[in-house]
Structures are given as C-alpha cells and as structure tokens.
C-alpha cells in the first residue's frame, strides 16, 4: 500500500517537473517575443544605427550577420564535409584515426571566447586583417567545423552498405560512389546539419566581438570583406552594455526577438524540406 502511494506521488512529481520545464521554456519564448516584436518594423530592419540619438535601426547588422554566416559556411563546409567523408568512408582503425576523432571532439569543446581570442591573435593581429568581416568569418568557421564533421560522418554511416556494394559492383570507383550515390542519399541529413550550424553561427557573439568588431561600415550593404562587421548578436550585447543611445532597451529587445524568430524559422526549415529532399533524392533522380 505504502509503495503504491509513493509511486502515485512520484508520478505526480514527474508530471509537475515536466510541465514546469515546458512552462519555463514557454514563458521564455513569450517574454522575448512579446517584448521585442512591437519594436520590429521595416524602418527598424533597414535603417542605420544611431550613435547618440534614439530611433536607430539595425540594417547593416542584419546584412553583416548573414554575410559573415555565408562566408563562414563557405570556408568550413568543404573541410568539414571532407573530413567527415574521410572518417566515414576511408578511415581505418589506427592511431591517426583516433587522433582525428579526439582532435575533433576537443575542438567541439573549445569555449567560443577562446576561439575569439585565437582569431584576435592570428587573423586580426598577426595577419593584419584588423576587426573585419573576413576575420570574423574565418574564426567563426572554426566553430562550425567539428559539428559539420560529426554530422557528415553520422549521416554517411546511416546509408546502408548495400548502396556502396551495388555501386562498386557496377564498376564505379570509390569517389564516384561517394559523389553519385552516398552524398545524394545523405543530403537531407547534411542539410539539417548545416542548418543547425547556421543557427548556432548566427547567434554567436563572443567570437565576433574580438574578430569582426563592434562597429559597422559607413556604407550600408558593404561587401568589402575588410570592413568591420558588427552582427545582430554583437549589437544586442553592445547597445545593452556599452551603448549610449537612449532607446538601447528597445533596440536590444527588438534584436532579440528577431534572432529568436530566425532560430524558429531555421528549426521549421529543418523539419520540412529535409523530408521533401529525402523523397526526391532517394527516389528516382541521379
């Protein structure tokens, strides 16, 4: 009798904790969006920021965020996917493979601020890039790499061996098998992984403060990679802790809501088209 009562109490407690966790998450989301969404307007999204007056926008920061993200993916995807392919398809069980695995795992655990200081030391100072979009993008790509390696390896391993055997039996070389069979089959998983990486890179701030800087170029969309490139996340931190504008709180809240919206959209993007791609790629084409 006693143990049955305890069991019922425990079940109640578990429900309470589960609902409590959901409630915290829901409150968090509601808090950010309800505070920030009213501040978002077309003007806010496109206008340049102000130094001293209120009413500044976040146009250049929005542009820089996606520009730096695109560059960092451009730098990291070839290496990350290449290393993932090697680990999944070529690597034999030996010391070198163990070392690559350990190094990737270690790289994944590096705190982002350490990446930031590394970028400051190597790209900004030693290679004389200064606080620039290119310095930020290069450092950010180091953060992307370990996740890309892991995702590529996992998705390729999930492809059944019969695919490889069939392709090799038709006389294809290993590279042809990878390019024409394995990568297309693994594409949905890769896209999901890259979207995850993109979301993380978009919200990163500790790295970019020390590499892309906390100011924006005088020109609105500045494609010059040597220009300084403050991003949305950095701007949010900067206006709230060092900014002089009187409407810092509103700008910060609007930026936060925008960042959360982008993360929400990316999560939806992960869920939807990967299923569509799966059907298309695994079915008839290529």
User: By CB under 8 A, what part of segment 220-249 binds another protein?
Assistant: 233-234, 236-237, 240-241, 249
Within 13-72, the residues that bind another protein by CB under 8 A are: 13-15, 17-18, 20-22, 24-25, 28-29, 31-32, 35
Binding of residue 214 to another protein (CB under 8 A) = yes
Within 247-266, the residues that bind another protein by CB under 8 A are: 249, 252-253, 256, 259-260, 263-264, 266
Residue among 94, 109, 128, 283 that touches another protein (CB under 8 A): 109
Distance separating alpha carbons of residues 166 and 134, to the nearest angstrom: 44
Give yes or no for a contact between 227 and 132, defined as CB atoms under 8 angstroms apart.
yes
Residue among 45, 168, 225, 226 that touches another protein (CB under 8 A): 168
Q: Among residues 96 and 283, whose Cβ is nearest to another protein? A: 96
Long-range contacts of 240-246 (CB under 8 A, 24+ apart): 242/214, 244/51, 244/52, 245/49, 245/50, 245/51, 245/52, 245/53, 245/54, 245/56, 246/53, 246/54
List all residues 6 or more positions away from 114 whose beta carbon is below 8 Å from its beta carbon.
none
In the complex, what is the shortest distance from the CB of residue 30 to another protein, in angstroms, rounded to a whole number? Answer: 11
Given the structure tokens 């309800």, which residue do they identify?
Answer: 34
Distance of CA 259 to the CA centre of its chain: 12
Residue among 1, 128, 171, 285 that touches another protein (CB under 8 A): 171
Binding of residue 112 to another protein (CB under 8 A) = yes
In the complex, what is the shortest distance from the CB of residue 205 to another protein, in angstroms, rounded to a whole number? Answer: 5
Q: Among residues 179 and 280, whose Cβ is nearest to another protein? A: 179
Residue among 37, 40, 91, 245 that touches another protein (CB under 8 A): 91
Q: Among residues 244 and 264, whose Cβ is nearest to another protein? A: 264
Within 125-164, the residues that bind another protein by CB under 8 A are: 125, 142, 145-146, 149, 157, 161, 164
* CA proximity to 200, closest of 151, 114, 118, 262: 262
Output the six-digit token pair for 148.
């890309």
In the complex, what is the shortest distance from the CB of residue 100 to another protein, in angstroms, rounded to a whole number? Answer: 5
Residue among 70, 267, 276, 279 that touches another protein (CB under 8 A): 267
Binding of residue 269 to another protein (CB under 8 A) = no
In the complex, what is the shortest distance from the CB of residue 281 to another protein, in angstroms, rounded to a whole number? Answer: 21
Give per-residue burial for 70-86: e unless 16+ CB within 10 Å, then b.
Answer: ebbbebbbeebbebbbe
Distance separating alpha carbons of residues 201 and 82, to the nearest angstrom: 20
Q: Among residues 67 and 237, whose Cβ is nearest to another protein? A: 237
């Amino acid at each position: 009798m006693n143990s049955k009562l305890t069991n019922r109490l425990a079940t109640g407690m578990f429900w309470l904790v589960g609902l409590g966790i959901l409630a915290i998450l829901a409150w968090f989301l509601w808090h950010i969006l309800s505070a920030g969404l009213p501040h978002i307007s077309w003007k806010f999204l496109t206008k340049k920021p102000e130094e001293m007056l209120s009413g500044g926008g976040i146009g250049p920061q929005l542009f820089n965020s996606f520009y730096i993200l695109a560059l960092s993916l451009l730098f990291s995807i070839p290496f990350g996917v290449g290393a993932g392919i090697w680990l999944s398809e070529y690597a034999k069980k030996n010391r070198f493979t163990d070392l690559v695995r350990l190094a990737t795992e270690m790289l994944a655990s590096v705190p982002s601020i350490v990446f930031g200081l590394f970028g400051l030391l190597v790209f900004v100072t030693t290679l004389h890039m200064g606080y620039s979009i290119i310095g930020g993008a290069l450092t950010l790509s180091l953060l992307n790499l370990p996740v890309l390696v892991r995702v590529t390896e996992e998705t390729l391993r999930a492809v059944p061996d019969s695919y490889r055997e069939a392709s090799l039996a038709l006389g294809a070389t290993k590279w042809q098998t990878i390019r024409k069979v394995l990568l297309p089959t693994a594409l949905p998983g890769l896209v999901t992984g890259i979207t995850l990486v993109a979301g993380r890179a978009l919200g990163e701030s500790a790295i970019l403060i020390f590499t892309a800087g906390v100011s924006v170029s005088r020109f609105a969309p500045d494609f010059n990679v040597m220009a300084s490139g403050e991003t949305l996340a950095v701007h949010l931190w900067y206006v709230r802790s060092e900014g002089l504008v009187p409407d810092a709180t509103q700008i910060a809240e609007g930026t936060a809501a925008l960042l959360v919206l982008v993360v929400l959209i990316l999560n939806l993007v992960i869920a939807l088209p990967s299923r569509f791609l799966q059907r298309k790629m695994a079915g008839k084409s290529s």
